[in-house]
Amino acid sequence: MIGLQYDSLSMINEWEIPGKSGYHLYATSDGKDLIMTVHTGLWLFDKVNKIEGFHDAENIKSMGRDTSGQYIYTVPEESWWTYHVSFFHPSRKLAFPDKKVYKTRWFYK
């Protein structure tokens, strides 16, 4: 892991968030893109392009993309919790009926 230290920050550029509101910004595993959630979907922030083929979903709470390009994400079912972890590209869903899942991430050892 590389540690970075900044003495000061300055704004270089700014972008208007597509959609109603932004929630989460997360780097992809290869570090080349940022994934951003908005009220109804996922976007690749680097190019501000909607993720092709991803269905709209409200209030996505977490997301990530692994080196193969597969996305992992959570969408609340009850309040801010879900009992499922979803995947896209390819699509699948894992159930956790006894757990309240809020965030999910890829884990690399």
In this predicted model, what pLDDT tens digit does every residue of 36-61 receive, in sequence order? 888 888 888 766 677 888 888 888 88
Residue 32 placed within a domain: yes
Within a domain: residue 109?
Answer: no
50 lies in some domain: yes
- Let me know if residue 101 belongs to a domain: no
**Domain count of the chain?**
1
- Average confidence (pLDDT) over 75-99: 93
Reported as half-sphere exposure (CB side, CA atoms, 13 A), residue 30 has a value of 10
Q: Take residue 20 and report the two structure tokens written for it.
A: 């109603």
pLDDT > 70 in the chain, percent? 91
Question: How much is the pLDDT for 82?
Answer: 95
Q: What is the pLDDT of residue 1?
A: 45
Answer yes or no: are the C-beta atoms of 36 and 42 closer than 8 Å. yes
The answer to whether 60 and 101 are in contact (CB under 8 A) is no
Instruction: Evaluate whether residue 13 is within a structural domain.
Output: no
Q: Using 50, 70 and 90 to split pLDDT, how confident is the model at 4?
A: low
Q: Please name the residue that has the structure tokens 């009220």.
A: 39
Does 5 reside within a domain? no
Furthest-apart CA pair in the chain: how many Å? 46
> Is the residue at 55 inside a domain?
yes
Predicted pLDDT of residue 6: 63
Q: 8 vs 64, which has greater pLDDT? A: 64
* CA dist 5 → 13, 90, 101 (Å): 21, 38, 33
Distance CA 35, CA 63 (A): 7
**Single pTM value for the model:** 0.64
Sign of the four-CA dihedral 20, 25, 26, 31:
positive
Its domain, for residue 45, covers: 22-95
